[in-house]
Amino acid sequence: MSIHAAITGVGGYVPDNILSNKDLEKLVDTTDEWIRTRTGIEERHILNEAGKATSDLAVGAILPMLAKKNIDPLDIEVIICATVTGDYVFPATANVIADKIGAKNAWSFDIGAACSGFLYALETGARFIESGKYTKVLVIGADKMSAIIDYTDRNTCIIFGDGAGCVLLEPNSEGFGVLDSKLHSDGSGREFLQQPAGGSLLPPSVETVEARKHYVYQEGKTVFKFAVTNMADVSYEVMNRNDLTSETVDWLVPHQANLRIIDATAERMGLDKSKVLINIQKYGNTTAGTLPLCLYDFESRFKKGDNLILSTFGGGFTWGAIYLKWAY
């Protein structure tokens, strides 16, 4: 049987400090009730320790996972970190993570696909495993969104939080692991969700800072419209083309951006609510962190052979779904 990339371990980490809806009521013109009913979010975690960055969130997820699995960091061969809030513009945050965890034999790089980053990284990592050349690939989704959120903008500050998750990929020849994927991007969507300044188009200047252009800009309604349609469609497509049904899909692991988007996706797939994994209320949208954090939170529910559909939509636009069979 051919080699698939199986998830053999998961890790997750959020910082201790909590920013609740009530806290946000003091910062912007909003209410706990509005946030709950429009998004499903109750609180989010914020990394507010000086000198700590996205790599520290990732390390908080990785080290306990490696310890639990009794894996030496020196055995990791490739590290892929999905993030849009890297510690630096360069070097890659994955390089920093490798250094901090002592993965001296790994080569490492970042993937930037906003909220779809983890799925893009998982797809990439899976191909490395399937090539037969690599046997231990670490795939991370991590974002310190609070570094790029404007806490005077009620359109964005209520949604995002900080967090990280990771998975270890190893080869499996018994039919478990990543079995199918369908990923998309459409760069014409960039105007609706972006961090306008800080890149080569609009390098940092006094003007860009004064105009608050280093913060996330989102046209929420438009993004919502695209997200609802595309996340639901791609999840349905991946389910169908693998001859899965609402009965045989065991779990939907959806990007946690808005409960209403998750509900629409589950409805399109005809899934019972009990199969839809939701932790948005605790963390908000941690961008690349949502999917691995969800796997981490619900790991104890998965049984060997369970059919999981992971799906997402995010900035770019980027979106997609992955079908995998749980391996343990």
Give the Cα separation of 19 and 13 in Å (integer).
Answer: 16
The answer to whether the Cα torsion of 49, 55, 61, 64 is positive or negative is negative
Instruction: Identify the burial level of 135 via C-beta atoms within 10 angstroms of its C-beta, where 0-12 means exposed, 13-18 middle and 19 or more buried.
Output: middle
Write down the catalytic residue from 4, 157, 166, 255. Answer: 255
Q: For this structure, is 115 an active site residue?
A: yes
285 is known as an active-site residue = yes
**Residue number with CB closer to ligand UT7 (55 or 258):** 258
Q: Which is nearer to ligand UT7, 128 or 313 (CB)?
A: 313
Residue 316 DSSP class? T
Nearest Cα to Cα of residue 54 among 15, 21, 6, 24 = 15
**Min. distance of Cβ 305 from ligand UT7 in angstroms?**
30
Three-state DSSP at 184 gives: strand
Task: List helix spans (H) across 48-116.
Answer: 54-68, 93-101
| Residue 142 and residue 59 in contact, taking contact as beta carbons nearer than 8 Å | no
Binding region for ligand UT7 (CB under 6 A): 30, 34, 38-39, 115, 154-155, 158-159, 220-221, 223-224, 227, 257-258, 261, 285, 313-315
* 255 part of the active site: yes
Catalytic residue among 172, 285, 294, 307: 285
Write down the least CB distance from residue 128 to ligand UT7, Å. 26
**Smaller CB distance to ligand UT7: residue 171 or 316?**
316
CB of 260 to ligand UT7, least distance (A): 7
Which residue of the set 115, 157, 166, 294 is catalytic?
115
Query: Which residue's C-beta sits nearest to ligand UT7?
Result: 220
Task: Decide: residue 185, CB within 10 A, 0-12 exposed, 13-18 middle, 19+ buried.
Answer: middle
Cβ nearer to ligand UT7, comparing 11 with 284: 284
Listed residue (83, 276, 36, 317) closest to 188, CA to CA = 317
Structure tokens of 254? 């959806």
Which residue, among 287, 294, 8, has the nearest Cα to 156 in the 3D structure?
A: 287
Comparing CB distances to ligand UT7, the nearer of 26 and 221 is 221
User: Nearest distance from residue 267's CB to ligand UT7, in Å?
Assistant: 16
Question: What contacts 189, CB < 8 A, 6 or more positions away?
Answer: 223, 226, 315, 316, 317
Least distance (Å) between residue 27 CB and ligand UT7: 10
Catalytic residue set = 115, 255, 285
